[in-house]
Amino acid sequence: MFILDEMEQFQCEQLVFCQDPSSGLRAIIAIHNTKLGPALGGCRMWKYATEEQAVTDALRLAKGMTYKAAVSGLPFGGGKAVIIGNPNTDKTMAKFRSLGQFVQKLQGRYITGIDLGTTVQDMDWVNIESEYVTDITGSLGAFGEFTAEMTAYGVFLGIKASVGKVYGSELLKGKTIAVQGLGKVGYFLCRYLHEAGVQLVVSDINADRVKKVLNAFGARPAAVDDIFGEACDIFAPCALGGILNDQTIPQLKCKIVAGGANNQLAEDRHGEALHSSGILYAPDYVINAGGLITTAVDLGGFDAPYAKRRVERIYPTINSVFQLSETLSICTAAAADRMAEQVLAKA
C-alpha cells in the first residue's frame, strides 16, 4: 500500500499512526476534512486481518463522516479512529488512555467518541487524557444508548420516505423488511418497524441477538448468507460496510435498500448498479446521520428532545436526495455526494 496515494484517493488531510509498546496500542486516526469545523467521528475497535485493511477502513469511514456532517448541516468535518484489536478480549484502560494522549496532541482537530466495538467506559478512559472526546458518562451518548436509538430513528424515517417514493404511500404496515445486523442500531430499528406493523426477517452472526429479536418482535430468522436473497420490500443493512457488491446486488429481491450500516457500497459504481437494477438506495451517510447529529447536539449543549427534533430533518434531506437524483438522472448515491460536495465547496 502506498499511503499517500491512498490518502489522495480519499482526499484525506491527515493520517496519524499511533503505537505505544507499554500499552500495546496500535491505532490509526484519519482526519478527512476540516473545512466545516473540527473532524468529528467515533473510535472503532476491530480485529483487522491486516494493517492495510485498518487504514482503508479509517479512510473510508472518515470520508463518510465528512459527507454526513455536510449534508446534515453540521459545523464539523469528518474523522475516524480505529484501534487494531479484538474488542472482546484486548481492551485495557492503558490502551484507551494512550489513545487519549494522541487525540489530545491534535489539539481539537479531531474529536472522538464511541463506534463499533467501543463503549462509554472506553471514552471515559480516553477522557482522562483528552478533552476532545464525547459519549462520556453524563453525555447524551451515555444516556440509555440514546445515540444508537437516534441513529435507528433516522433510518426509520428514511425508510418511510423511501417507501413513499416507491409505493406512493408511507404506510409500512404489511411490508416485509429484511434487517441484516442486530446490534444496538439494528435492534432499535426492528423495534420501530415492529411498532409500525412490519413483517421482519432478520439475521446476525450472533445467535443470541437473533433470539432476542425473534422473541421481542416475532421476526423470522434467516441464515447470514441467505439474507440478501430474501424476498422483501426493503433490505436494511445494519452491520459492517462493503456489503453491496458484485456478488450480493444480483441476489437482492427488494425495491429499496435503506439501512444503518456505514459504507454500504463496496465501490462507488455499486450505487449505479442498484439504480440500474431498479432498486431505490437511501445513501448510508444521509439516512444514518442520527448518531452524528446527536453527538453534535450534545457538544452544542442541547438536550435530548432537541436532538430528536434535529434528527427528524433526515426525512426532508432524504427526499431532497431523491429529487436531485430524478432531476439530474443520476443514481441517489451520486446525488448525495453532489449535495455534500456543494456544501464543502462553499466552505
Amino acid found at 63: K
**What span, in angstroms and rounded, lies between the C-alpha atoms of 245 and 248?**
5
What is residue 1's predicted lDDT score, i.e. its pLDDT? Answer: 79
**pLDDT per residue as tens, the chain (347 positions):** 799 999 999 999 999 999 999 999 999 999 999 999 999 999 999 999 999 999 999 999 999 999 999 999 999 999 999 999 999 999 999 999 999 999 999 999 999 999 989 999 999 999 999 999 999 999 998 887 899 999 999 999 999 999 999 999 999 999 999 999 999 999 999 999 999 999 999 999 999 999 999 999 999 999 999 999 999 999 999 998 899 999 999 999 999 999 999 999 999 999 999 999 999 999 999 999 999 999 999 999 999 999 999 999 999 999 999 999 999 999 999 999 999 999 999 98
**What span, in angstroms and rounded, lies between the C-alpha atoms of 260 and 285?**
9
Q: Is 181 annotated as a binding residue?
A: yes
Domains located in the chain, CATH noted: 3-63+76-134 (3.40.50.10860), 146-346 (3.40.50.720)
Closest of 332, 336, 337 to residue 272, by C-alpha: 332
**What span, in angstroms and rounded, lies between the C-alpha atoms of 151 and 292?**
8
Do 68 and 78 form a contact (C-beta atoms < 8 A)? yes
Amino acid found at 277: S
Q: Is 201 annotated as a binding residue?
A: no
Name the 3-class secondary structure at 286.
Answer: helix
What is the enclosing helix (H) or strand (E) of 1? none
Q: Is 186 annotated as a binding residue?
A: yes
Q: Is 77 annotated as a binding residue?
A: no
What is residue 283's predicted lDDT score, i.e. its pLDDT? Answer: 98
Burial class (CB in 10 A: 0-12, 13-18, 19+), 193: buried
* Selected catalytic residue, list 35, 47, 68, 80: 80
Q: Is 183 annotated as a binding residue?
A: yes
- Which three cell numbers, joined as nine digits, stand for 123? 471514552
Residue 3: φ, ψ to 5°: -60, -45
Examine the residue annotation and report whether 80 is marked as an active-site residue of this protein: yes
**What span, in angstroms and rounded, lies between the C-alpha atoms of 118 and 219?**
28
- pTM value is 0.92
What is residue 145's predicted lDDT score, i.e. its pLDDT? Answer: 85
- Chain position carrying cell 490502551: 95
What is residue 240's predicted lDDT score, i.e. its pLDDT? Answer: 84
Amino acid found at 259: G
Q: Mind listing the pLDDT tens digit for each residue in 251-284?
A: 999 999 999 999 999 999 999 999 999 999 999 9
Q: Is 185 annotated as a binding residue?
A: yes
What is residue 143's predicted lDDT score, i.e. its pLDDT? Answer: 80
